[in-house]
Structure 1
């Protein structure tokens, strides 16, 4: 995947999975710097290519009272500053075609939210920026059907594509992960990421705040590596109970290092088995 090598530069490691990680949303500069410093240090030691992630704005909140961001430009500037401070590529999601060019001036990867994965105008606008485009598979879409999102971006002249699995709607208040989607989406010729935190969401709670099962993040991540995922997406926060968005399904920052160590060993074992 040539675009991954260009994205990670000297951090590129084809023998390992890559990581997309950070807090759900830009809360303040201190939070971004704290998480980026901690995670980048771990990833350097374990030779894991790393993309720093935080949303500059959260547009798809259940409740009108939910935190949405510190302001678009301020949030994007903080993301860019964080990436520059630790020499990391950065990513954030966009929610309309008009946001694509604005966000592309600050980030390296444009993320398309799962709810919007079929929106042609957003996919084309993201593709036309020339940035890497990471499309999250909708909770209502099969892995096979994601080939159409890939085709839309390619038709706009951009082959820098990542697909992310994030679970499938199961009833009204739960998600399940169909791991068949990882090899199926890899067959579209693009790297595939497993979103280990949003796939554990419990949406549509009566409180208006999405619930989650963070104690299963490790289970989701380990199974994803075993089934061939190229990368993992993990939202993390020093104290998820105080996070301003999606705290119910984020991994506590001090638990990340041990999990990544386990995942690197699983990756090595899987590779050895394939090459045996």
Structure 2
């Protein structure tokens, strides 16, 4: 397996980070990975399987957080080995970096933790690739310092930056596409999170809302302005997903979307 790099991206299409929000079960993880692996292979799209082994940022005390850290990480490792594809998962505290690094290829820093120096340093020290999500409260230009923190600890660490929208009032997000070229200026691959950027967080009900009908719009625009990769959470039945179902793409809609996005990429090449 090989992680996408700036050199490889320039010679082909965008790459894809995709999977369910959280690892819910072994069967579901393999179902999603197999279907996406087959479609991306046929289209020549590099694929990284995504799944959170634990959800630490939840609104309510009784929200789903996971099936157990090691159990979920073992599923991630098994998926990667079976399909020979890289895998990515979130970490939330410095002490989790080494643990997660033993199972996955990319450590993801959640947006609300992107300024945490110790967390970024711990991720870099594992030798794994690091995907840093841009904080909803930050500009693309300000992510320069997050990249510098990782490279200070490990100058050879592959680093990705992911935009997931900016806070717009108290319960909504808006995408400012200026962030993508601003982050590309740091000579790292830049990813657009097409699902979390459509969240409507912190609702009075305690359940995050979303606008999944606009995923195609966000993705097309991101490719048009030069995104190197796309991040998409998907599920066979988002209505029963245990986390973030309100902004997920139904899995049976992904292939048609990717075909359209390849045409956009070809048009701007």
TM-score (norm 2): 0.97
2:3 aligned to which of 7, 30, 33: 7
CA distance in 1, matches of 2:42, 2:180: 27
CA distance in 2, matches of 1:65, 1:209: 11
Alignment partner, residue 270 of structure 1: 268
CA distance in 1, matches of 2:145, 2:4: 27
Alignment partner, residue 188 of structure 1: 186
1:144 aligned to which of 134, 141, 152: 141
Q: What secondary structure, in the 3-state scheme, does the structure 2 residue paired with 1:115 have? A: helix
Unaligned stretches of 5+ residues in structure 2: none
2:123 aligned to which of 100, 123, 126: 126
CA distance in 2, matches of 1:95, 1:45: 35
Unaligned stretches of 5+ residues in structure 1: 272-276
Alignment partner, residue 175 of structure 2: 177
CA distance in 1, matches of 2:2, 2:159: 13
Matched positions, count: 265
- The answer as to whether partners of 1:175 and 1:202 remain within 8 angstroms in 2 is yes
CA distance in 1, matches of 2:252, 2:80: 21
Q: How does 1:153-168 map to 2 (within 5 A)?
A: 153-158=150-155, 159-168=157-166
Alignment partner, residue 62 of structure 2: 65
TM-aligned CA deviation for residue 85 of structure 1: 1.2
TM-aligned CA deviation for residue 128 of structure 1: 0.3
Q: What secondary structure, in the 3-state scheme, does the structure 1 residue paired with 2:108 have? A: strand
Is residue 212 of structure 1 aligned with residue 215 of structure 2? no
CA distance in 1, matches of 2:43, 2:14: 11
TM-aligned CA deviation for residue 216 of structure 1: 0.3
TM-aligned CA deviation for residue 8 of structure 1: 5.2
* Alpha-carbon displacement from aligned partner over 1:132-157 (angstroms, at most 9, x marks no partner): 00000000011110000000001002
* Alpha-carbon displacement from aligned partner over 1:176-225 (angstroms, at most 9, x marks no partner): 00000001100011000000000000001111110000000000000000
TM-aligned CA deviation for residue 93 of structure 1: 0.3
- The answer as to whether partners of 2:4 and 2:15 remain within 8 angstroms in 1 is no
Alignment partner, residue 274 of structure 1: none
Q: What secondary structure, in the 3-state scheme, does the structure 2 residue paired with 1:111 have? A: strand
CA distance in 1, matches of 2:206, 2:81: 36
CA distance in 2, matches of 1:169, 1:33: 34
Large movers: runs of 4+ above 6 Å: none
Q: How does 1:86-101 map to 2 (within 5 A)?
A: 86-101=83-98
- The answer as to whether partners of 1:8 and 1:89 remain within 8 angstroms in 2 is no
CA distance in 1, matches of 2:199, 2:21: 13
